[in-house]
Structure 1
Amino acid sequence: MRVSLAAFFLWLGSLMAAPAQVLDFAELPDWDADNHLEAFETFLKTCDMLDQPDWAPICKLAATVDPNPTAARDFFELLFRPVLLGHPPALFTGYYEPVLQGSPVRTARFQWPIYRRPPELRDGMTWYDRATIESGILRGRGLEIAWLDDPVDVFFLHIQGSGRIQMPDGTMLRVGYAGRNGHAYRSIGSVLVARGALSQHNLSAQSIAAWVRANPQAGAQVLNQNPSYIFFRKLGLTDDQGPIGAMGRSITAMRSVAVDPAFVPLGTPVWIEKSGADPLNRLMIAQDTGGAIKGAQRADIFFGSGHAAGLAAGTVKDGGRLVMLLPIDRAFALAPDE
């Protein structure tokens, strides 16, 4: 995926109703304390994909910058300006890459499949919803990539969009997003709160999963309230590589973030000011998207892989502020009165 001029003009059109304000770097809390080299190295992973005229010279220069924290900070401060778009407070959530147990064939333990994309499913098509697919319409077509031992794990793998599946022989299968059925994502957490099964106060990925497992029949019906369904593909990644994001490159734990590309162009550095129990002020790169990530002040932080990352990501639902770092000319074009 290359971020093209056409995408740029679509982005400009979506900003007409969103107010923008150019800030100073001094207005970003803890900017001086961040590890700018980590953010710079993450930025480099996708910089070559930005082909708009104002990005091309920046990315060419980036390839010549010395890999040290001071040079990385100078790079961002010299070539970018912070831009606040939309109306805070933001909404920050977290996601991760789960590590699950699975099998290449169906067994008494492993009975719940994840599927590759059916060949007749085209981008933009609205296809069968989750309940219909779960009823078995894909059985017998040989589309199964792997079988898991827990339908709740399958559901949350759909939400995360990527995962590592350990097979009985010890090998690890990496899977990633290959397509969706075209139905809008619906939060089952909101469904459970509306039914009084969970309170807003204790709502988390962990509490949702625990309720569904404790109530398997009712839980299956609740899962089907989200009509969106995700299909997967096998990925040839090494153990040290992160999952593949929306730009087609590996993303980085605590440095990559999913955004709404209608407001935040993919590949853009973004300054995250997350409040809550574990406040976070950090420079990240917009390298992914998500079905529930909508709006200028909405972002999903990638926490990494495995159980600990899942525990951390599953409790995040915090406010704060999201600030883009844009090339200078583009920044002042958005806020010409600054």
Structure 2
Amino acid sequence: MVHQTISPSTTSASNASSKISPMKLTLLRLVMTALIVGTLAACSTTPAPSPTRPGAMPPPAAGTAAIDGDTAPLPPPMAQPKSRWVPVRWAELPGFSDDALHEAWNSWIKSCERPVAPFTALCSEVRRLSIATGDEQRAWMVSRLQPYRVEASDGNPDGLLTAYYEPMMDAARQPGAGFTVPIYRLPAGYGARKPWYTRQQIETLPEAQAALQGRAIAWLRDPVESMVLHIQGSGRLRITEADGTISMVRVAYAGTNDQPYQSIGRWLLDQGYTRDATWPGIRAWLAANPQRTNELMWANPRYVFFKEEPLVGMDAGFGPRGAQGVPLTPGRSIAVDRQSIPYGTPVWLASTGPQVQLNRLVLAQDTGSAILGAVRADYFTGWGPEAGDIAGRLKQNLRLWVLWPR
């Protein structure tokens, strides 16, 4: 799945939806609890830290007790196209002794559905450990994996954490009764023309409309909801079918028109139309300027096409498939720059801000057009309004450690 962020200073929107099932609510509570009450632990000794930068996380504290079994000589650093990996002791990882690893194990097992070298050989052990205790899982990780601190080429270990989610929206199979904004499948002849028509051209040119004839999956009420869906790259729809019945489906990312992404929030700021480029701020501006809705939406020429997927059984308890090709796990999947961290890599994530603290095992399973750089991650929070609230306020400093087979 490929998603974007609205602007460097904005938040994601919560979206109107049906009630959330107990399974979904439990997952969201787990994410919220972790965000609010997670504790940033001190770390062990490390190589000399880089100079302190404004807003950087504090360096690891000296004197932390060593992790049992972590006594082997450290290997040399490893180079990646956009980052370097510096080997460290397990005691450097904040909160490693406290994380509920079993929550991350489901995400790891999902990665093993599409294993990548060199993790393929470990997947049978990962599956067997799914019913192990946290201490057993921790001991196995120490024995089989080596942590490496991810740094930029200049040695800076600090980066940026944001978040994304799967919005839930009401929709209809046919236009009418206020449902006027289409969600399209890939157009006829997709790929023959690159880049494809811009958002404005898609909505105004007869030839673009002809290629999309009969390709609407469903219809939304609100163009802002449509933009949220395009930015997040996936969503859950509560659809009113033609016979009046209600069904829940997922619309997942299928492709784009290959046009550049432009933030509508940034456009409003640059034009001097608002100082609040959050989703509530955007909605307020549109409420005061309804005649300019198209102008605002057309400021972003990128257009996303979707495919419909059922939401049944276990599928409903996971997010959409990420770029690795496996379903995302709320609170345990991240999007990364694959030139810094390969898909399928287990990663230790540490992030602290004025309200939110995270120290936990996550899996690199997705990417995004705005997720670029050595120490950069987008954290998948789940689906629905609660997940949107979390995703909207999460923008803060980040450190990452990849956990690589020994």
Q: What TM-score, normalized to structure 2? A: 0.71
Matching of residue 143 in structure 1 with residue 215 in structure 2: yes
Contact 2:318/2:330 (<8 A) preserved = no
Post-superposition Cα deviations, 1:116-161, rounded to whole Å, max 9, x if no partner, equal 0114223994211222123253256111000000000001101111
Alpha-carbon separation, structure 1, partners of 2:288 and 2:218? 25
Partner of 2:387: 309
Q: Which residue of 2 aligns with 1:175?
A: 251
Instruction: Decide which moves more: 117-126 or 40-49.
Output: 117-126
Aligned residue type for 1:161: G
Q: Secondary structure at the match of 2:317?
A: coil
Matched, 1:38 2:115: no
**In structure 2, C-alpha distance between the alignment counterparts of 1:204 and 1:188, rounded to whole Å:** 10
On the 8 A contact 2:251/2:306 being kept in 1, the answer is yes
Pairwise CA RMSD of aligned residues? 2.4
Alignment identity in percent?
A: 38
Q: Distance in 1 between matches of 2:362 and 2:269?
A: 32
Cross-structure match for 1:99: 168
Report SS of the residue matched to 2:97. helix
> Of residues 94, 104, 128 in structure 1, which corresponds to 2:197?
128
Residue of structure 1 aligned with 2:126, choices 34, 39, 62: 62
- The separation in 2 between residues aligned to 1:284 and 1:214, in whole angstroms, is 42
1:311 partner SS: helix
The letter for the 1-side match of 2:137 is: A
1:204 counterpart letter in structure 2:
T
Alignment coverage as a number of residue pairs: 314
Q: Which of 17, 28, 43 is matched with 2:93 structurally? A: 28
Partner AA of 1:282 in structure 2: R
Report whether the alignment pairs 1:204 with 2:278.
yes
Query: 1:272, 1:283 within 8 Å by CA — same for their partners in 2?
Result: yes
Q: Distance in 1 between matches of 2:399 and 2:291?
A: 40
Q: Which moved more, 1:133-142 or 1:234-243?
A: 133-142
Bigger Rg, which one: 2
How far off is 1:232 after superposition?
A: 0.3
* 1:50 matched residue in structure 2: 115
Q: 2:238 matched to 1:160?
A: no
Moved more, 74-83 or 306-315: 74-83
2:84 to 9, 19, 43: 19
Partners in 2 of 1:230 and 1:115 — Cα distance? 8
* Residues in 1 aligned to 2:279 and 2:359: alpha-carbon distance in whole angstroms: 23
Unaligned runs of 5+ in 1: 2-12, 329-338
1:288 equivalent to 2:366? Answer yes
| Residue 223 (structure 1) aligned to one of 297, 300, 322 | 297
- For 1:49 and 1:124, locate their aligned partners in 2 and report how far apart those are by CA, in whole Å: 31
C-alpha distance in 2, partners of 1:278/1:156?
24
**Relative to 1, partners in 2 of residues 1:183 and 1:327: Cα closer, same or farther, differing over 3 Å?**
farther
Pair 1:111-2:180 in alignment: yes
After superposing the two structures, state which structure 1 stretch, 210-219 or 59-68, moved more.
Answer: 210-219
1:24 to partner: Cα distance = 1.8
Superposition deviation, residue 322 in structure 1:
2.2
Aligned partner of residue 141 in structure 2, secondary structure: helix
Q: Structure 1 residues 213, 317: CA separation in 2 closer, same or farther (over 3 Å shift)?
A: farther
CA deviations on 1:146-189 (whole Å, 9 max, x unpaired) are 00000000011011111111123321121101111112322233
Q: Name the CA distance, whole Å, in 1 between partners of 2:266 and 2:125.
A: 46
Runs of 4+ in 1 over 6 A off after TM superposition: none
Moved more, 283-292 or 206-215: 206-215
- Mapped to 1, the partners of 2:164 and 2:400 lie a distance apart of 17
CA–CA distance in structure 2, aligned partners of residues 271 and 214 of structure 1: 45
- Answer yes or no: is the 8 Å Cα contact 2:334–2:379 preserved in 1: yes
Structure 2, unpaired ranges of 5+: 2-77
Q: Which residue of 2 aligns with 1:336?
A: none
- Residue 345 of structure 2 corresponds to residue 268 of structure 1: yes
Shift of 1:109: 0.6
2:320 counterpart of 1:240: no
Mapped partners of 2:362, 2:280: distance in 1: 26
